[in-house]
Amino acid sequence: MIERSRLDSGLRVVTESLPELRSVTIGAWVGSGARDEREHEWGASHFLEHLLFKGTQTRNAREIAEAIESIGGEMNAFTSHEQTVFYVRVPDSHFASSFDVLADVLWNPAFRPDEVESERRVILEEIGMRDDTPDDLVHDLFARAMFPDHPLGREVLGSEDSIAGMARDAIAAYHGAHYQPSNVVLAVAGNVEHGAVLDRVAASFPTRADARPARDCSGAPTPRPVAVVGRDTEQAHLVVGVRALSTTDPGRYALTVVNQAFGGGMSSRLFQEIRETRGLAYSVFSYHSGFEDDGYFAIYTGTANERVHETLEVIDAELARLVADGLDDREIERAKGHLVGSLAMSLETSGSRMRRIGRAEVVEGDVPSLDEVVARVEAVDAEAVAKMIDRVFRDAPRTLAVVGPHEAADFS
Q: What is the CATH number of the domain that holds 179?
A: 3.30.830.10
- The reply to whether 240 and 171 lie within a common domain is no
* Residue range 62-87, pLDDT digits in tens: 999 999 999 999 999 999 999 999 99
* Selection from 178, 8, 200 nearest residue 95 by Cα: 200
Q: How confident is the model at residue 158 (pLDDT cuts 50, 70, 90)?
A: very high
**Is 49 a residue of the active site?**
yes
Question: Is residue 299 over pLDDT 90?
Answer: yes
Q: How confident is the model at residue 121 (pLDDT cuts 50, 70, 90)?
A: very high
* pLDDT value, residue 220: 86
Percent of the chain with pLDDT over 70: 100
* pLDDT value, residue 357: 98
- Under 8 Å between Cβ of 88 and 74: yes
Q: How confident is the model at residue 47 (pLDDT cuts 50, 70, 90)?
A: very high
* pLDDT value, residue 412: 79
The CA distance from 58 to 336, in Å, is 50
**363: in domain:** yes
Structural domain of 49: 2-204
- Tell me how many domains the chain contains: 2
* pLDDT value, residue 218: 84
* pLDDT value, residue 129: 97
* Selection from 36, 78, 43 nearest residue 158 by Cα: 43
**217: in domain:** no
Average model confidence (pLDDT) across the chain: 97
Question: Is residue 387 over pLDDT 90?
Answer: yes
Strands across the sheet containing 12-17: 2-6, 12-17, 184-190, 23-30, 84-91, 74-79
* Residue range 180-238, pLDDT digits in tens: 999 999 999 999 999 999 999 999 999 999 999 999 888 889 999 999 999 999 999 99
Roughly what angle, to the nearest 10 degrees, separates helices 168-178 and 113-131?
A: 90
In the DSSP assignment, the letter for residue 37 is -
- Under 8 Å between Cβ of 24 and 15: no
- The reply to whether 152 and 271 lie within a common domain is no
- The reply to whether 167 and 97 lie within a common domain is yes
**209: in domain:** no
* pLDDT value, residue 376: 97
**368: in domain:** yes
Question: Is residue 39 over pLDDT 90?
Answer: no
* Residue range 389-408, pLDDT digits in tens: 999 999 999 999 999 999 99
- Under 8 Å between Cβ of 142 and 227: yes
- The reply to whether 231 and 128 lie within a common domain is no
* Residue range 260-290, pLDDT digits in tens: 999 999 999 999 999 999 999 999 999 999 9
From 37, 49, 155, 331, the catalytic residue: 49
- Under 8 Å between Cβ of 71 and 79: no
